Amino acid sequence: TYKKESGPVKSVESTNVLDRWITERLNVVIAEVTTSMEAYELNKALVSVDSFIEDVSVWYLRRSRERLKSENETERSGALSTFKLILLELSKLMAPFTPFVAEDVYKTVGGIQESVHLDSWPTTLVTSVDNVMLLSDMVETRRIVSLALEARAKAGIKVRQPLAKLFVKSSSLQNKKECVELILDEVNVKEIVFDLEIVGEVVLDTDITKELKEEGMIRDLIRSVQDLRKKSSFMPGELAQLFVETS
């Protein structure tokens, strides 16, 4: 549960690991930018904002796309509320540096003041100790994902092709189910094995069985259909006819 004692930001309740993580990252960037601004270190403030925007777009938003359009009301609501919170508070942090962009974002997400420049400077939200620890867990999660995707690229195996196992030397995430599930989905493997004896940080099982190959073919077909829908300007949920020439 994330709660702000005052101001226009409503409480956001979400148990999703990505929502909890990005909210804690928001707390960090608010503290960093505030400290830097008070010390007149504008370059440091801008670096903090830039780093946060990259985390939001490259990791949080990309990993949350399915939740943002989910048919599960609780799941969709948690993602949308968290994303709105992030954009609202980010617009206030950006206001001294990019006043017009910040104003547009603030009004788009429903800021209650006439202008972002008339609103209060953001303060950190109340979160749990577990969420603070999640910051380091997510750094490790993204590190393992990066290494695994690099191993895929070296092996010449596209990400849409499922693989059976990923062996990971680090054991810090062994009992962190939510982070493990993110790695499984991002790297597209069925199982993660934590093994301190492997050579290197991560090792992919590159043996592609008949079943895995067929699953990869299905994913390729689905991707092709999605591309066709996009080119034909179909809306989500809108039915289309699909013709497939095959043996």
Q: Is 223 exposed, middle or buried (0-12, 13-18, 19+ CB in 10 A)?
A: exposed
Does the pLDDT at position 8 exceed 90?
no
CA angle 195, 198, 199 (to 5 degrees): 155
Beta bridge partners of 167: 193, 203
Is the distance from CB of 183 to CB of 138 less than 8 angstroms? Answer: no
CA angle 100, 105, 111 (to 5 degrees): 110
Instruction: Report the C-alpha gap between 153 and 140 in whole angstroms.
Output: 20
Phi and psi for 3 in degrees, rounded to 5?
Answer: -135, 130
Share of the chain above pLDDT 90, in %: 75
pLDDT digits (tens, 9 = 90+) for 70-118: 888 888 889 999 999 999 999 999 999 999 999 999 999 999 999 999 9
Q: What pLDDT is attached to residue 209?
A: 93
Instruction: Report the C-alpha gap between 51 and 29 in whole angstroms.
Output: 9
What is the mean predicted confidence (pLDDT) over 40-59? 95
pLDDT digits (tens, 9 = 90+) for 191-237: 999 999 898 899 999 999 999 999 999 999 999 999 999 999 998 78
| Residue 233 CB neighbours (<10 A) | 7
Q: What pLDDT is attached to residue 11?
A: 42
Q: What is the mean pLDDT of the chain?
A: 90
Q: What's the Cα-to-Cα distance from 212 to each of 200, 216, 246, rounded to whole Å?
A: 25, 6, 20
Does the pLDDT at position 17 exceed 70?
yes
Does the pLDDT at position 147 exceed 80?
yes
Q: What pLDDT is attached to residue 43?
A: 94
Q: What pLDDT is attached to residue 202?
A: 94
The DSSP symbol for 124 reads: P
Instruction: Report the C-alpha gap between 48 and 26 in whole angstroms.
Output: 10
Q: What's the Cα-to-Cα distance from 29 to each of 12, 91, 192, rounded to whole Å?
A: 18, 12, 32
Instruction: Report the C-alpha gap between 108 and 87 in whole angstroms.
Output: 9
Q: What pLDDT is attached to residue 12?
A: 64
Instruction: Report the C-alpha gap between 4 and 101 in whole angstroms.
Output: 25
